[in-house]
Amino acid sequence: MQLQWRPYRFPLSRALTTAQGRWEERSGWLLRLETADGAMGWGEAAPLPGGESWCAAAINELPSESDRADLEAMLLAMPAPVGFALGLALAELDGLGAEGWHPAPPSAVLLPAGEAALRVLRLALAVHQPNPLPFSAKWKVGVLDLGTELNLLKEVLTLMPEGSNLRLDANGSWDRPTAERWAERLMDEPRLQWLEQPLAPSDQDGLMALSRKLPVALDESLRDPAGVPNGWSGWRVHKPAIEGDPRQLLQRLQAGAPLEMVSTVFETGIGNRAISHLAAMAADGPNPCAAGLAPGWGAQGSLASSDPQQVWEAAEP
């Protein structure tokens, strides 16, 4: 098998500020994996900001040609984004997408931190069209001081229609007293779908205790060494592009695992078609809900194409 890598870089359509920092652009690598008989598999390594050098070093150590067994062995030692690229390309060679890639399912609207959330929410509600799922929004919190964000919560809830869903994503930034303040405010709020990673992955007891009061979804815990708390029965928010070989999640979704949701980290069209495919499988599973595909935030133009060759050519240095 011949491996070819190509770097890419693009600005986000708007900067995204989270509790972990500010995103203004995305960079990564595209993978074209070709067999001796001309079959092609495509992948993408899309590390989070700060992880680029680690992935670059790993990619530079990979041979330009390898047999299947050696490639599978090397994949296990790769940084998770590189493992995703390799696993995705191998999955395509094994038939993933051969009968067509599932189109993206309905997605939650991504609301930026701070007062900008109100403007984006108003615009999203103005253009919202009926679909099989209720209107859903995900709001990035844990960025401003607690009082300011709780005041903004009142305005967000005033705008959210009855029957809609609101997800609050703190990216593991809250401590227990802060989480308790939010819990007091949201205890009887029917539009709260979940708190996404409200506490650090290391605070497993706190996560379990909070989940007994309010719905909680895990995100960073799925990739942290601390892991998922024992006995966890709540939602899992998967970001496949930074979780490693996607074939494991594919198997979980094929088996009908409950309470699984798939989210993006702003990939190009190559990564996005796989993320959309997995998100559609999750949405068709036992607990359908809006995906986390952040429409309008990622790559634009040819870099967003569903044709991998177009994406490849658009990323040419």
Amino acid letter, residue 147: G
Sheet containing 40-45: which strands, arranged edge to edge?
Answer: 2-18, 21-34, 40-45
Q: What are 288-303's pLDDT values in tens digits?
A: 999 999 988 889 999 9
Catalytic residues: 140, 239
pLDDT band at residue 19 using 50, 70 and 90 as cut-offs: confident
Contact indicator for 33, 43 with CB cutoff of 8 Å:
yes
Helix (H) / strand (E) containing 4: strand 2-18
From the list 139, 143, 151, the residue with the least C-alpha distance to 192 is 139
Tokens of 36: 């001796």
What pLDDT score does 18 carry? 85
pLDDT in tens, 136-170: 999 999 999 999 999 999 999 999 999 999 999 99
Q: Which of 251, 305, 311, 304 is nearest to 282 (CA)?
A: 251
Per-residue pLDDT tens digits for 43-52: 999 999 888 9
- Beta-carbon contacts of 313 under 8 Å, excluding residues fewer than 6 positions away, are 302
pLDDT at 131 over 80: no
